[in-house]
Amino acid sequence: QKTSFHRCQTMDFKNGYAFFRLPREGVGGETLFANQLSQDELDDLCTKGATLTYGQVKRPAPSRFTPAFVAYDKKVLKFDAYFMEEVAISAEENYRIRQVCIYYYLEDDSMCIIEPKVKNSGLVQGKLMRRHRVPKNVHGDYYHWKDLNVGIDLTIYGRTYRLVNCDSFTKVFLESQGILVNPPEELVSDPYTEQRQMPVQKRIMPTSPDPFRQFLAYDTKVLRFYAIWDDTNCAFGDHHPCIIHYFLADDTVEVREVHKRNDGRDPFPVLMRRQRLPKIFVDKNKNFPSCVLEITDHEVQEWFSPKDFAIGKTVTLLGRTFFIYDCDKFTQDFYREKYGITDFQPVDVNKKPLEKVPQVIPPYNGFGIPEDSLQNCLSLFPKPPRKDVIKMLENNLKVLRYQVALESPVPEDKNRRFILSYFLADDTISIYEPPVRNSGITGGKYLRRTKVTKPGSTPENPIYYEASDFTIGSTIEVFGHRFIITDADEYVLNYLERNAQSFPAATVQSIRDHFLPRKMVVETTSSGFPKKELDDLIVEVQKELKLQEPFDTRQFHEAFYHCDTEGSGFLDKTRFLTLCDRFNVPTSTILLKKVRWKGCCACGIPLLCFFQKISS
């Protein structure tokens, strides 16, 4: 009676991909239940093969294969083992036990054997067998992890190893493969090694002295004392640090001197060679020449022994006195055990530091600059004082020139004029005197280029003249000579105005006030005094002078310079007329009016340059 036999759609597309889904309804739209079969039917289906109408049964795809080197990568079985090795050349041991570790690599069934290294064992230890597949028998079989277990003997290349234990991973792996792991055994130790680790019983030395027994007991055992040899009683003597060695094997003593670097002594380390040193001699004839003969036992009553040496004690060895201030640890243990001495506090022999004497700088002797002379007091090989290279490069060829007059009670020095040059590169000063004919004074270089200190400065803290100290009318003291600044170069004014921020305002204003009258003359001449009319006036005055008797031109110039004390180039009317009357210069009313009309001002008249042209 079923009329619909269609099947539910199980194939679909989603996001552009085809996929399969379970049917929601049965054939014809019947409802599907989760489990419609009984348990017996389900069991029959599990045991009964499926019978298909078309084709053979499709078998599922096999599981993904994983190779052994991937599944067992970095998985290693570790066993603790030991083997017995015969010793045929030793009288103290017949065999030795050597402990090893056996590693089995599951990824390629290879094995290696490693022996842990023991310090100072004298054996070649480390990797005893490299990693490879180990043959099991002559038939070509190899050892497998199934052949390994705790408590078995494993023979590899003729050597039998006893496996006594394994790590936790090895035990878990073997049990997971169905192998019953035997209980661990105790690792056997080497009997000779255990015997060496036991404390050695000290032998009781006999009371009677036995040189051979003493040599066997105390060979290579030396007492070391640190001492000071005081040699200050001799000429050029000093305290010499030394080391005293006392050899217990034969009771000999050796003294070595400790040299320091650059101590000025010859590098001979041995001060006294190793020998027995006598302490007390037997009374003998003083005339016997024993100084050139060797000392025998019957001549010595007592030799030096260990009881004669101690910290803080002074001993005399072959005429030299040594003070013992310390000893090493072995010496302390020897005296503590044999003589019961417990106080080994070292004595401080270090010299107390000398008080530092302050360096006294001698007074300046006047030769050179103080900084250069001071270098002779600071080092054996003096070096030139450091210069400011940046300042020298910035102010190269920059010189400030001033005209100065010598302040002196000598009348001949009043009219002397000097040129003072101040070099900005290194703050040095040079003075030059222009030569004047028939003056009786040889001109030329008055002071070479050098630094000049201010009055009141000390050689320890010298204060030198600077460019800001030079003002018109100021006094400059140069090595006891006083100079007064009367004039300056125009470059000085231009430099001070360009660098006004680096100089005091009083210095700049002093130079400006000095050059102000000259600027006024130049402005007056350039504005209201035409050059052609000035030349005509000079020609007219020259004609008047030719009609007069000839006069001395040099005296004429010197008189005007002498009256112009300020050097401004100005003279008032009264002084001008007085000079003209003295030298019989015509001063007619017409010429005076022309001169006053051409160049007069309220305060005076610029006549120096004017009369220089007239006299020429």
54-58, 166-170, 197-201, 450-454 — which one is most confidently predicted on average? 166-170
State the average pLDDT over residues 312-324: 92
- Tokens coding 449: 């280029």
What is residue 398's predicted lDDT score, i.e. its pLDDT?
A: 93
403 & 520 share domain: yes
What is residue 526's predicted lDDT score, i.e. its pLDDT?
A: 56
15-24, 97-106, 299-308 — which one is most confidently predicted on average? 97-106
Contacts of residue 33, defined as CB under 8 A and 6 or more positions apart, other chains included, come to none
Q: Does 358 fall in a domain?
A: no
The whole-chain average pLDDT of the chain stands at 83
386 & 401 share domain: no
What percentage of residues in the chain have a pLDDT greater than 90?
39
The Cα–Cα gap between 376 and 383 comes to 8
CATH code, 405: 2.30.29.170
Which is higher by pLDDT, 241 or 561? 241
Can you give 345-380 as a three-state secondary structure string?
CCCCCCCCCCCCCCCCCCCCCCCCCHHHHHHHHHCC
Residue 596 has pLDDT above 50, yes or no: no
Sign of CA dihedral 498, 503, 509, 513: negative
State the average pLDDT over residues 311-340: 92
Contacts of residue 286, defined as CB under 8 A and 6 or more positions apart, other chains included, come to none
The Cα–Cα gap between 94 and 429 comes to 102
Question: Which of the listed residues 458, 493, 524 is the one where a domain comes to its end?
Answer: 524
Nearest Cα residue to 426 out of 395, 447, 462: 395
Residue 178 backbone class (left: φ over 0; alpha: ψ -120 to 50; beta: rest): left
Q: State how many domains the chain has.
A: 6
490 & 412 share domain: yes
Q: Does 209 fall in a domain?
A: no
Q: Does 60 fall in a domain?
A: no
Q: 99 with 142: CB under 8 angstroms?
A: no
Segment 366-393, tens digit of pLDDT: 777 778 888 888 888 988 888 899 999 9
Give the DSSP letter of residue 506.
H
132 & 186 share domain: yes
Q: Does 355 fall in a domain?
A: no
Residue 197 has pLDDT above 60, yes or no: yes
The arrangement of strands across the sheet holding 428-433 comes to 444-450, 428-433, 417-423, 399-407, 481-488, 475-478
Question: Which of the listed residues 469, 501, 524 is the one where a domain comes to its end?
Answer: 524
What is residue 244's predicted lDDT score, i.e. its pLDDT?
A: 95
Which is higher by pLDDT, 601 or 337? 337
- Tokens coding 33: 């239940």
Nearest Cα residue to 472 out of 504, 421, 507, 516: 507
Question: How would residue 4 be classed by pLDDT, with cut points 50, 70 and 90?
Answer: confident
519 & 538 share domain: no
119 & 240 share domain: no
Specify the pTM.
0.37
383 & 464 share domain: no
Q: Does 210 fall in a domain?
A: no
414 & 519 share domain: yes
104 & 86 share domain: yes
- Tokens coding 386: 């450091």
Distances (CA, A) of 418 to 195, 400, 436, 470: 108, 14, 11, 14
302 & 367 share domain: no
Counting DSSP H helices and E strands in the chain, the numbers are 15, 22
Question: How would residue 180 be classed by pLDDT, with cut points 50, 70 and 90?
Answer: very high
Segment 392-424, tens digit of pLDDT: 999 999 999 999 999 988 888 888 999 999 999
Residue 324 has pLDDT above 80, yes or no: yes
What is residue 34's predicted lDDT score, i.e. its pLDDT?
A: 61
Q: How many CB atoms lie within 10 A of CB 336?
A: 13
Q: 296 with 255: CB under 8 angstroms?
A: no
Q: 346 with 325: CB under 8 angstroms?
A: yes
Alpha helices, DSSP H, located in 117-272: 168-176, 191-197, 211-218
Please classify residue 375 by burial: count the beta carbons closer than 10 Å to its beta carbon, then call 0-12 exposed, 13-18 middle and 19+ buried: middle
Question: Which of the listed residues 475, 499, 524 is the one where a domain comes to its end?
Answer: 524
What is residue 599's predicted lDDT score, i.e. its pLDDT?
A: 38
The Cα–Cα gap between 396 and 529 comes to 41
481 & 499 share domain: yes
Contacts of residue 563, defined as CB under 8 A and 6 or more positions apart, other chains included, come to 571, 575, 579
Lowest mean pLDDT among 159-163, 503-507, 539-543: 539-543
> Pairing state of beta strands 399-407 and 222-230?
unpaired
What is residue 394's predicted lDDT score, i.e. its pLDDT?
A: 92
Q: Does 582 fall in a domain?
A: yes
Question: How would residue 37 be classed by pLDDT, with cut points 50, 70 and 90?
Answer: low
What is residue 575's predicted lDDT score, i.e. its pLDDT?
A: 77
158-167, 261-270, 435-444, 504-513 — which one is most confidently predicted on average? 158-167
Residue 130 domain boundaries = 68-197
Q: Does 558 fall in a domain?
A: yes
Question: How would residue 612 be classed by pLDDT, with cut points 50, 70 and 90?
Answer: very low
516 & 560 share domain: no
What is residue 80's predicted lDDT score, i.e. its pLDDT?
A: 96
Q: Does 207 fall in a domain?
A: no
Segment 512-568, tens digit of pLDDT: 888 887 665 555 555 555 556 666 666 776 676 666 666 566 676 677 777 776 666
